[in-house]
C-alpha cells in the first residue's frame, strides 16, 4: 500500500514539475506528509496481550509497550525498577540520553490502572514510533511497580485514550501527534490476529500491527463504518445498537447501549444481566464451560453504525491447562461493567481505525479484519 502511494506521488511530482514552479513546494509538502506513517509490528503474548517496540531517547533505548486505548498516560520502567520481576524488563537509563529532560524533578506521580499501579517522575524525551520521531514527548519514568507490574511480560504502557484520561498538566502522545502535525492523516489503525506466526516461547511475533497515520488495505475487507465517539470521559466510547447470538437478538441494547474499544483488555465485558443472556444463548452458565461445548459455540455479532461485526468461538473461547494439569475451557465474555468493553476478543476479528483529526470530536471506523 505504501509503495503504491509513493509511486503515485512521484508521478504527481514529475507532472507538476513540468507545469509550474509554484506547485513544486506544494507537492514536496505532500510528499513529506505522505511518508510520515509509523508502522509498529505487534507481538501476541498468550492471546492475552499485544505489544510492540518503541524507542525513547538519544541514542534510542528500546521498549516493548502495550498500545492501550483505555488509558492516556505513557510510562516505561527506569533503572529504579524492582529487580525481582517474572520476565526481564528494559529499563530506561536517563543519564544515557542526551535529549532527556526531567520535567517534574524528583516529584513522583501515581499512575493507576484497574489492574496495577506504579509511581513515575514526569519527563520529556524523543519518542520513536515506528519511524516517526516525536520530539519532547511527555512520559513517566517508572519506579515502584506494584506486584502486578512485576509479573507482566511487556515493559511499559503507551496510552492512546483521549486527553480527559491523562494526568493533568501533561501532553499525551495523541496530543503531541496532533500538535506537531507529523503524520499524513490524524488516525491510527489497529490490526490484531490470533494466528500462529513465528513463535518464541509464549510469544507470537508479527501477529498484528498498529499504524500511526494510515491503514493497510491488506488487513481488512470491505469498507469501514465510522461512528462518533460519545463520552467526554476519555474512552473511545461509541453507541452500539444490537448484540445477536447465532442470529438471535438478545435485546442487549434496549433502549440503548454503549461500548468502548480497549486494546489493553483481553476480554469483552458487559452488564451482568446481558452477559447472562448471552450465556443462556450459548447454553452455558458461567465463563467456565465444558470443553465438549466449545466446538458448537455460535458466532456473536455486535451491530455498530448499522454494520454487524462478528466474532467466532476462535475469538472468544479458549482452552487452558489448570494448576492440576487438567484441560479447561472458558469464554472471554465477562459480567461487570455498564458500558460494554470490547477488548481483544472483539478486536482480533475487527480492523479498527481511531480517527483524531479533531481530538475534541473523534470517531472510530470498523471493518472486518483480514486474517
Ligand X SMILES: *[C@@H]1O[C@H](CO)[C@@H](O)[C@H](O)[C@H]1NC(C)=O
Instruction: Out of 69, 143, 189, 339, name the contact with ligand X by CB under 6 A.
Output: 339
Give min distance, CB of 335 to ligand X, in A: 16
Torsion-angle region of 130 (φ positive above 0: left; ψ -120 to 50: alpha; else: beta)? left
Using CB under 6 A as the binding rule, whether residue 366 contacts ligand X is answered as no
Nearest-approach distance from CB 297 to ligand X, in angstroms? 28
Interaction between residue 231 and ligand X (CB under 6 A): yes
Residue nearest to ligand X (CB): 231
Binder of ligand X out of 87, 113, 258, 310 (CB under 6 A): 258
Query: Is 267 in the active site?
Result: no
265 contacts ligand X (rule: CB under 6 A): no
In the complex with ligand X, the residue whose CB is nearer, 45 or 260, is 260
Measure the CA–CA gap between 72 and 185, rounded to whole angstroms: 20
Q: Of the listed 125, 262, 267, 355, which one is catalytic?
A: 262
Query: Which position among 117, 225, 230, 276 is part of the footprint of ligand X (CB under 6 A)?
Result: 230
Stretch that binds ligand X, among 71-79, 165-173, 200-208, 226-234 (CB under 6 A): 226-234
Distance (Å) of CA 362 to CA 73, 295, 356: 18, 39, 5
Among 237, 301, 315, 348, binds ligand X (CB under 6 A): 237
> Could you confirm whether 262 is annotated as catalytic?
yes
Could you tell me the smallest distance in angstroms from the CB atom of residue 236 to ligand X?
9
Q: Looking at 8-16, 232-240, 299-307, 354-362, which segment touches ligand X (CB under 6 A)?
A: 232-240
Q: Provide the mask over 93-132, with x wherever binding to ligand X is found by CB under 6 A and - wherever it is not.
A: ----------------------------------------
Cα separation of 52 and 311, whole Å?
A: 24
Interface with ligand X: number of residues (CB under 6 A): 8
**Angle subtended by helix axes 2-19 and 22-35, to nearest 10:** 170
* Pair 155, 77: CB distance under 8 Å: yes
- Interaction of residue 236 with ligand X, rule CB under 6 A: no
- Whole-number minimum distance, CB 226 to ligand X, in Å? 17
Question: CA triplet 313, 65, 207: central angle to 5 degrees?
Answer: 40
b/e per residue 315-351 (b: at least 16 CB within 10 A)? bbbbeeeeeeeeeebbbbbbbeeebbbbbbbbbbbbb
Burial class (CB in 10 A: 0-12, 13-18, 19+), 8: exposed
Cα separation, 225 vs 127, whole angstroms: 31
Give the H/E segment covering residue 28: helix 22-35
Residue 57 is given by DSSP the state T
- Here the cell at position 285 is 452458565
Query: Restricting to residues 7-46, which ones interact with ligand X according to CB under 6 A?
Result: none
Positions marked active-site: 68, 262
Q: Which residues bind ligand X (CB under 6 A)?
A: 230-231, 233, 235, 237, 258, 260, 339
Amino acid at each position: 500500500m505504501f509503495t503504491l502511494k509513493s509511486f503515485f506521488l512521484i508521478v504527481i511530482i514529475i507532472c507538476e514539475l513540468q507545469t509550474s514552479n509554484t506547485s513544486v513546494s506544494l507537492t514536496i509538502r505532500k510528499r513529506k506528509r505522505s511518508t510520515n506513517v509509523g508502522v509498529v509490528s505487534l507481538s501476541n503474548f498468550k492471546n492475552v496481550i499485544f505489544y510492540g517496540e518503541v524507542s525513547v531517547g538519544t541514542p534510542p533505548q528500546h521498549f516493548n509497550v502495550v498500545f492501550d486505548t483505555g488509558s492516556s498516560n505513557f510510562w516505561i520502567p527506569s533503572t529504579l525498577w524492582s529487580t525481582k520481576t517474572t520476565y526481564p524488563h528494559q529499563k530506561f537509563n536517563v543519564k544515557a540520553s542526551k535529549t532527556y529532560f526531567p520535567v517534574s524533578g524528583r516529584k513522583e506521580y501515581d499512575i493507576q490502572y484497574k489492574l496495577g499501579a506504579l509511581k513515575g517522575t514526569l519527563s520529556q524525551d524523543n519518542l520513536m514510533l515506528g519511524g516517526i520521531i516525536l520530539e519532547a514527548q511527555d512520559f513517566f519514568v517508572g519506579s515502584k511497580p506494584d506486584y502486578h507490574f512485576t509479573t507482566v511480560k511487556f515493559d511499559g504502557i503507551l496510552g492512546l485514550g483521549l486527553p480527559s484520561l491523562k494526568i493533568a498538566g501533561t501532553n499525551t502522545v495523541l496530543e503531541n501527534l496532533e500538535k506537531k502535525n507529523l503524520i499524513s492523516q490524524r488516525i491510527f489503525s489497529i490490526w490484531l490476529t490470533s494466528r500462529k506466526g513465528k513463535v518464541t516461547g509464549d510469544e507470537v511475533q508479527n501477529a498484528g500491527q498498529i499504524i500511526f497515520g494510515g491503514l493497510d488495505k491488506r488487513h481488512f475487507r470491505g469498507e469501514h463504518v465510522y461512528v462518533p465517539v460519545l463520552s467526554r470521559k476519555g474512552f473511545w466510547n461509541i453507541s452500539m445498537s444490537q448484540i445477536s447470538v447465532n442470529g438471535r437478538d438478545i435485546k442487549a441494547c434496549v433502549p440503548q447501549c454503549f461500548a468502548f474499544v480497549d486494546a489493553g483488555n483481553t476480554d469483552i465485558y458487559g452488564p451482568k444481566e446481558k452477559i447472562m443472556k448471552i450465556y443462556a444463548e450459548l447454553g452455558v452458565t458461567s465463563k467456565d464451560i465444558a470443553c465438549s461445548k466449545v466446538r458448537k459455540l455460535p458466532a456473536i455479532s455486535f451491530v455498530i453504525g448499522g454494520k454487524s461485526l462478528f466474532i467466532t468461538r476462535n475469538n472468544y473461547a479458549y482452552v487452558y491447562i489448570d494448576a492440576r494439569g487438567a484441560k479447561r475451557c472458558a469464554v472471554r465474555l465477562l459480567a461487570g461493567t455498564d458500558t460494554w468493553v470490547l477488548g481483544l476478543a472483539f478486536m482480533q476479528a475487527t480492523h479498527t481505525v481511531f480517527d483524531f483529526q479533531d481530538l475534541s470530536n473523534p470517531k472510530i471506523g470498523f471493518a472486518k479484519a483480514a486474517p
